[in-house]
Amino acid sequence: MAFFRKLFKGPRAYASTMPSFYGRWGEPKPLDQLRLLELAEGDAEVRACLDATVDAVTANGWYVTGLDEAKNAAELWLREHEDEFFLFLRNLVLTTLVFDESYIECTGGFPRVIAPWTMQVVRDEHGFVTGYVQQTRHSVRFEPEDIVHIVLHPLADRAYGSPKIATLARTLLAKREAELFLYQVFMRKGVLSKAIVLKQGDESTFNRLRNILEETRPGDNLLLMGEIDVKTLSQPVEDLKIIELLSEFRQRILAVFRVPPIVYGVVEGVNLETSRNQMTTFAQYVRSLQKVFSAGVSRALRRVLGFDGFSVRLVEWMNPEQETGLHVERVRAGIETVEEARRAMGLPPLGGGVH
């Protein structure tokens, strides 16, 4: 009886954001997503972290599981669209990492990533999705089955994600100002570091000296005649510890994106044990991302192809040390030859008929 009571009962809890208040136009985004995109594209460390994560998630390819007939049909479709699907997959992963959400349109013959900043979710008062709306020059309404909405970090009953770029916003803005200040110091624009005191001389001598200084560039030599005193006003880079600040900003970015410094290309101060621990954590993070994207892509392809009974799985990423160990064990067990193992790891053949 308890089962039947639950079966005929509807949900009782209401969504915290009162989505029904916004009606058919959908809930507004709590963040300026184009601003997040600008921050992501304008920072070298963020770009490097995104590239490293996208490569780790997608580079090893995919495979299909499921019932024989459905599996074979899905595999055939993926073989016919292999290049397009790989480009779609990279676009999907990068978009989701930047905005913490993505929208896959499933109305045509191939899945399509829609710009997240143009999309809004329509939900009822209990938080169940009843549709999607795209706002550009025209408004386009989608039914729930037309869109696969991936949210990377869902929180309670919120409709949208929680982007890491938003978490880093103040750090990225401060880093931008620090880099600009360093650039101005380097170009000697707007930053006084030396005072040249002309102790003797008339106004014409002073004006001539000023004109000479204005025409000089960093690194030029000056030969001055007369009693002149040069005083240091400040050392702004040292005083404000700009280099140390930039290094700290980089560490924060790497920590939030969970990318090990060695993957990013930073090797100083990293020992073997620390590197292994960081790579293990990164591998766990990548595996969790691969599960999310596998689920989202599988759902999208089922709707595009029009049948169920299969799933697409991304091949698990392994760090180079793990991959080498795996191939060593496979060679020892006779599963593959040395040349096959080297080819799988992207190494040149040994030659000379070694197997």
11-54 per-position pLDDT tens digit: 788 887 777 777 778 899 989 999 999 999 999 999 999 999 99
Q: What is the DSSP code (8-state) at residue 15?
A: P
Residue 251 lies in a domain: no
Residue 310 lies in a domain: no
What is the per-residue pLDDT across 236-272, written as a single tens digit (0 to 9) for each?
556 567 788 888 999 899 999 999 887 766 655 556 6
H helices within the chain, ranges in order?
2-8, 33-41, 44-58, 68-80, 82-99, 164-167, 169-187, 203-215, 236-239, 242-257, 261-264, 272-305, 320-332, 338-344
Place of tokens 């309404």: 141
| Residues 21 and 110 reside in one and the same domain | yes
41-69 as b/e: b if 16+ CB within 10 A = eebebbebbbebbbebbbeeebebebeee
Place of tokens 């978009």: 95
Residue 28 lies in a domain: yes
- Indicate the angle between helix axes 33-41 and 44-58, nearest 10 degrees: 100
* DSSP string of 143-155, one letter each residue: -GGGEEEEESS--
What mean pLDDT comes out for the span 198-219? 72
Confidence of residue 354 (pLDDT cuts 50, 70, 90): very low
What is the length of the chain?
355
| Residues 138 and 17 reside in one and the same domain | yes
Report d(CA 181, CA 238) in Å as an integer. 12
| Residues 102 and 33 reside in one and the same domain | yes
Residue 112 lies in a domain: yes
What is the per-residue pLDDT across 318-344, written as a single tens digit (0 to 9) for each?
766 666 766 677 788 777 788 877 877
pTM of the model: 0.78
For residue 351, what are the domain limits? 318-355
Q: The tokens of 14 are what?
A: 């209401």
| Residues 131 and 213 reside in one and the same domain | no
| Residues 74 and 218 reside in one and the same domain | no
